[in-house]
Every structure is written in structure tokens, then in C-alpha cells.
Structure 1
Amino acid sequence: MVGKFITLEGGEGVGKTTNLRYIQECIEAAGIELVVTREPGGTEFAEKIRELLLTPSDETVCEMSELLLVFAARAQHLEQLIKPALAAGKWVLCDRFIDATHAYQGGGRQMNQQIINTLESMVLGSLQSDLTLLLDLPVEVGMARARARAALDRFEQEKVEFFERVRARYLERAAASQGRIQVIDAAPALPEVQAQIAAALAQMGVGA
């Protein structure tokens, strides 16, 4: 038996934390054993890399260093947590995964796509999510929410243009995903957002 792999994606301030909990509740209410994790991070070693990636620094972080750290954390996460859980028949719910790399490093940083594709092939092989929920929101709305909630991390301090490129890349990938990535309009009130999420989960037999 192989479990299902669900990822949650989106830019800053789209409500990932709140809706991750909602997705977790829906899946667990269906009697499914679930592992909830995040990227970068998910294991002790990968969480240390997360801290390096997100903590603001006086030293300019080279874009290639950032990309390699993202994939180093992901390699550890996959081998130590995600793959064993899926092999045991558990479902895995992950806050961000490979689509975030394409959006932030590929779109936001405008890094070479072939390099990202090569690293993806090396680290992931043929593994991909069974379902990705992309919470989508206009950048200015999301950033206003992000600024209101806490101090900004290293990525959140980027300029609006960076996040416009991130959003555009996310939507490009959704359009090309043949249904793997379901776009959720995160602008309405929370009950309406979660109704969209519930409809997407129903396609996987959760709550149907």
C-alpha cells in the first residue's frame, strides 16, 4: 500500500497555516493516518537549513547557495520522512514542496530553469504530489496580511515585483499541471475558501 501525497502552496499571506489545519482535520476525520510536515524543514537536519534560509542576514546570500540549500533540505526530508511515510501507507500533507522552488527560485529569482529541472530530477526522481492546492491571492493583499502578522523573514522582505513573478510562475505551473495543481481563490471569506478546498479533497475520496 502506498499513501497519498498532498502539498499546499501559495505566496505570502494567503492563509496557508489556517488552511493547512483545515485540510489536516478533513483527512483525519476520514480515518486516514496522516503525517503533516513542511518545507524547507521536516526533519531535525532540514530544519537547521530552514533557519539558514529564512533568517535575515547582513551577508548577501548567493542565489545558487539558496537553491542548493533548498534541495539539500528536500533530499533529507524525502529520505527520512516523506518516502518512508508513503511506503507505510500513510498520507503526507506538506506545507510547500517542489512547486515553491519553481515559483520562488525559478520565478522570483529568475534562475536558470534547466538547473532547477536537473536538481529536481536528481532529488525527486519520478515522485510528485497526488494533489497540490495552490492558495492564490493578489500580491498586495497577501503582503499586507503578512506585514500585519509578524516580523518579515528573509523572503518576505523582497520587493513586490519579486512576488508578482512568484505568483505568475505558480499560475503557469497550475495551468500546465493537467489537474494536479488545483487553484484555490484565497480572496473570499474563509468558509468559501474552505469550501473550495473541500471540493478538491472530495476528488481524492476525502469527505465525499
Structure 2
Amino acid sequence: MGTYASILVEKRDSKTQAWTTIEKDRKRDWIYWGQNYSVFAVLANVRNQHSFFSLNRGDIFEPICQPKGMPKDPSEVLRRHWEEYREVGYSSSYLTLKELKAFDWKSKQVMRCGYVGEENYLKFVDDKKKGKCSEASYIVGGIGGANIIVLSNQEMENLIKGERPREKEESYYTIVTWKASYEQECADFLRSVIPTLEKIENGVGSDNVRIAFFFFD
């Protein structure tokens, strides 16, 4: 469940100016299958929200641009792909490699927020010092179920030290915050997609390689 992205890669022929979809292993949307909502927010203002259920998740992201719709000069593969999914797809857009590289991923920052369980709180404290929180899978956006108690950070520290009474069969969580750059929040996308697009570009110019995408639930 949740939101997903279908991302295709296109390259423009310098002579004919026609775009061609770059496929891999007969797959059209192979370049990124991640479900990172920070990436979706930056690419097209999708899933860009302050809150998740009752938790304030922190700052919203500044998107590269609002969704532009599908390009007016798509490759035949992209045109057919969008026709196939347009009834369920939304926020379609496209960005060139030049636009992706020009965006200030490193300097732009957001304040983030999430829940951490008792067993991972000390690891969070260490990861926060090292700037690794954005990739921490143990930080969750929501919690539910019976026998859950949410403590303040200080109460959690006291619980771990044995200075706070512990209830039997209770699970303890605390809300944590950290500051992260867009680069840290979108690391999986930047590490895989940008280098791949650069290889595809191979001297033809960064405005001649692009990703075209849409989202679906």
C-alpha cells in the first residue's frame, strides 16, 4: 500500500531531436523503484505533508517544480506507457538531468520528526550526532496497538537508566527530531539515478537526458 512512482528514462537524438525511451531487461520503468516520500515531494510536490496521522513529521520540502504534465514530445514508448496508466496515474511530470543536477540538494534542509522505540533510542542519539538519521529504518512515522506508552526524550533516558518505573508488557516510544539536508533525505535516489543518467548522457548534454514520471496509489 501507499504511493509509488513510475519513472522512465528518455534520451534525445542530437540529429533528429526525437526522444527515445531507454529500456533495461525489457522493463520501461527500471531506474528507481524506491518508495521514498521525500524524493516524491522534491520531484513533484507529492506526499509533501507536515503530518502523518497525528504526528507532525516536520518541514515540507521545496519541490524542484510543480508537476508539468507529460512532455509534449514523448517517445512512443512513453506515450503508450502513460496511455496505459493514465486512469490511475497522477502528478505526471518530467525533469532533465540538467534540472536535477542544478537543484541545491546539499544546502537545502528540513526538520524531520518520527517515533523511536526504547530498544533503538540510544542508537538514534548516536546516529543524530553522525548525521545518519535519514537512512535509519527504525524511525517510524506512526505507531499503533495496545500497551504503547509515548514518553518525552528525558523520560525515555530515565527509563533506560532504570530511573523511571517500568510497566509490565508495555512498549515505550518517544518522538525524536533531527535536521537533514535534501541530499540526506533523498540519498537512495541520488546515489542510483543521477550516476545512471550521467552514464546515459555520455557527452550529448544534460538537457538531452530526462526522466518522465507519474505517481499512483
Q: Comparing both structures, which one devotes a greater share of its residues to strand?
A: 2
TM-score exceeds 0.5: no
Q: Comparing both structures, which one devotes a greater share of its residues to helix?
A: 1
TM-score computed with the length of structure 1 as normaliser: 0.23
TM-score computed with the length of structure 2 as normaliser: 0.22
- The structure that has the greater radius of gyration is 2
